[in-house]
Structure 1
């Protein structure tokens, strides 16, 4: 992206059935935030809009466990998740609760109108599928409520996707199916629901190949297209969800990441005064989806199926950024299993800052697949970062303040920033490479980077998307206003701020023992 553009980034919406753990933070939301900051530093007009996935069945499971209503559960965790994202310095231009009075009608209308549109174009078709019901309760055992073994890799699975192999499946494909609701025997019934198929399946993989999606993530998409012809559910069994006047009781419109994103586009249109929704085919706005590899079908396939069936009214995401699953000490971070480190608990303790946690998590190579982090690794990274700030950064900042000379952007700074930026775009995202470029600049020292002032300027620009708090302090110390920006850096600064603005690191040494209260292991 070289010419200045308007961009909408929609990270996949978290389910409000619990607070955010480091797996959430390291993957979808950190990537969306870093991408937005990097694009803004290059002059693009970027909005990041998301919200809680309130109509997901995991909400009803959490409500049942806590003795609350689904609405109470949504309200509780919707607010808590936003606090967690704020604590990690994740910037959002809007945070949507689809159950709220502000959004509910518009959110439901986007879903219902789109299903009607696909029916009118002939892209949607009613088909019979086999659905398991609990003989004891008479309730459909789908989504959250079904468990068994994956028909593709044989490992334990639930819902409609496998977190191990990333493949999707229908309820009737689950091996050894059982109900999470009760111990009742399953009764299989034929139910009619609405589905859509891609008019051009090859165009889906072709689009993602051209957009730079890595082969290891596209393999899942190809297997799904080959196995199912790209079939996407438009409606399904349920009572908590997106109801419709056109559906009988017990059925809801499928909870779609893409249609949620289209509603985010409506919010973007209202906030910016734009003439069209960014997902309108001729909007001129670049749309970017960000999601985990276990959501390949809703992220990679469904947007194209719906857009192809819309008769030219809608477009899919222009680019998709996918992230692998984060493991903590060998096991996938999980809200339902209670495994990981929860963002609000750790960052609320004051023992680790948002920048320090971001710096550590960015080293996990999630842009290439599954990655693992450990408590000891977190502590080691934080201790090294604090030692560097104390022994290298602060003395350099003091020398620049004392000298009082103007800051000039040197070729070495520009070369480093340009090299880092190749890993910060929606095509070929590689945040591990980006944070390695920052670390390399940190440790080359001011003497090897045209002096203290240019070295500090490089730190501000290289750190701006990754560790925004620290980068902002350095930027202000150099005499600049606002957020780090490449155009202003090129113009230079008249003089550094004479007052010390950089926050010294915590004096108390950090240990793994101090963080143990914030560690949850399944």
Structure 2
């Protein structure tokens, strides 16, 4: 982003599946990163819509509901409430009307999905294709995504249908090896031919290659490599309809009784969520804010296991609409965050929910630790002992020492404004440049930002202990507060309420009034 680039921003965090609450592994992935980036952009004065929507149509809602002996509708409703509670508890604030968090999956949502796929059909973008689909004989159900389990044909790991969590490669239709029904592995699985509607990804190869030539330099190495691997071979077709009973009905004569393939919903869902977040103006179409004519910059936040869908499938869905829509300028992709060196798992109850974490840990402390340890380029690990030890040593202890020293110095100096030297202003600019590099897309790294914040606290503590020039120290602490605000949200709020100006681009000043640094609990 440049100073002259004042385009509105649309940030989409991967749509959460409402088959349970969000756990810390989710929080340390797309949701915290998107929230930090949104707060940074807003602090620079930009218009930002940061949003997402629950992915109610996913088969994982169906499979989890059956395991829990409830209905998919009840599970989705209860899980959405839990997801909203955890987001709020972690201080993650999607753009939303007052008193709301996530958009309702209602009739207007379903209309948006239907309008989106109908426009593709009417434009002649979709093709009929007869494919072989796994079928659970006793259950009498076609198997795909979360209803299907087997072996990835690309890497040999255990995988669900759709994509492999380990290598990120897709497996469509009958491609998954050793196909079994996820809810009953003993149920015999046969293969039945069905005619569905598909979108041929290969037809968009030239546009895909041109797009990624431009944007991949802003991607992290591992997901960028996966995109290159996928582009190196034949590109698959995208299922647009599928035989199923849970989802948005597909309104097409060639595929009666089918639903819109759940992964296809992500784009109209994101458009609908953006429209809803901006006040759900009924006079505007659901896709208004995504129109290319409005010139917004679009950024996705998601995990490595969603690179195929968010990186390729969703892009092709936009391209298939011609020049109507904006395209993503970057995807901020995280790896897996582990708990005690094992994957978070709802089924094994190996997890910590977001709301549970902040019930026993101050929110800023939790956000700092997740920021410091989140899996940006490789798998990382969460453990409660590490949270307590690391934050006490690198955040809470040094921060409160600095607050006490600053209070002592300002008490001794009185209320008169203090002189800020040229050297002090240069020091602030060096820190601002380093932090700005963490928050801009070309090098976006919440973990590096947290590291710089911890290091800066230590440095300013040394200066305060050494009786540094008070004006320069006050200016440096104010700059620290401003740049830490996207992570330390409650502390920044307390400082702002006390009158501390937290602008990321303050006018250079010769003098600064004394203030107190809020302590961390």
TM-score range, shorter chain: 0.7 to 0.9
Question: In the alignment, is the contact (CA less than 8 A) between 2:58 and 2:262 conserved in 1?
Answer: no
| Range 259-268 or range 393-402, more displaced | 393-402
1:225 to 218, 222, 231: 231
- In structure 2, which of residues 323, 330, 340 is the aligned counterpart of residue 312 of structure 1? 323
The residue that corresponds to 1:234 in the other structure is 240
Partner of 2:68: 66
Please report how far the alpha carbon of residue 151 of structure 1 lies from its aligned counterpart in structure 2 after TM superposition: 1.2
Q: 1:97: Cα distance to partner?
A: 4.4
CA offsets per residue over residues 227-247 of structure 1, 9 Å max, x none?
Answer: 441532212232111113324
Question: What corresponds to 1:8 in structure 2?
Answer: 10
Q: Is residue 366 of structure 1 aligned with residue 368 of structure 2?
A: no
Alpha-carbon shift at residue 455 of structure 1 (Å)? 2.7
The alignment partner of 1:460 has SS state of: helix
The match for 2:430 is: 415
Shift of 1:148: 1.1
| Contact 2:428/2:475 (<8 A) preserved | yes
Q: In the TM superposition, what is the alpha-carbon distance from 1:458 to its structure 2 partner?
A: 2.3
**SS of match in other structure, 1:445:** helix
Per the TM alignment, residue 447 of structure 1 is displaced from its structure 2 partner at its CA by 5.5
2-structure distance, mates of 1:67, 1:489: 61
CA displacement at 1:490 relative to structure 2? 4.7
Q: Which residue pairs with 1:291 in the alignment?
A: 302
Give the match for residue 324 of structure 1: 335
- Which consecutive aligned stretches of 4+ in structure 1 deviate over 6 angstroms post-superposition? 272-276, 491-494
With normalisation by structure 1, the TM-score equals 0.87
User: Aligned-pair distance for 1:303?
Assistant: 2.6
CA–CA distance in structure 2, aligned partners of residues 226 and 337 of structure 1: 37
User: Is 1:265 the equivalent of 2:274?
Assistant: yes
Quote how far apart the aligned CAs of 1:205 are.
4.5
Consecutive unaligned residues in structure 2, runs of 5 or more: none
Contact 2:337/2:374 (8 A) holds in 1: no
Match of 1:186 in 2: 189
Structure 1 residue 401 displacement after superposition = 5.8
- 1:201-243 CA-to-partner distances (Å, cap 9, x unmatched) read 2432543453311232122223333444153221223211111
Distance 1:504 1:437, change over 3 A: closer
Flag the 1:421–1:300 CA change in 2: closer, same or farther, 3 A: same
CA distance in 1, matches of 2:35, 2:509: 26
Alignment TM-score, normalising by the size of structure 2 = 0.88
Give the alignment of 1:475-494 within 5 angstroms.
475-477=496-498, 479-480=499-500, 484-488=502-506, 490=508
Which residue among 423, 431, 439 is the counterpart of 1:424?
A: 439
Q: Spell out the pairing of 1:351-390 with structure 2 (5 A cutoff).
A: 351-364=360-373, 366-384=375-393, 385-390=395-400
* Aligned CA distance change for structure 1 residues 401 and 13 (closer, same or farther; 3 Å): farther
| TM superposition shift of 1:119 | 2.0
Deviation string 1:175-195 (CA, Å, 9 cap, x unpaired) is 211112222100100111121
**2:162 partner SS:** coil
Aligned length: 494
Q: Distance in 2 between matches of 1:493 and 1:333?
A: 51
Q: For 1:142-181, what aligned pairs fall within 5 Å after superposition? A: 142-181=144-183
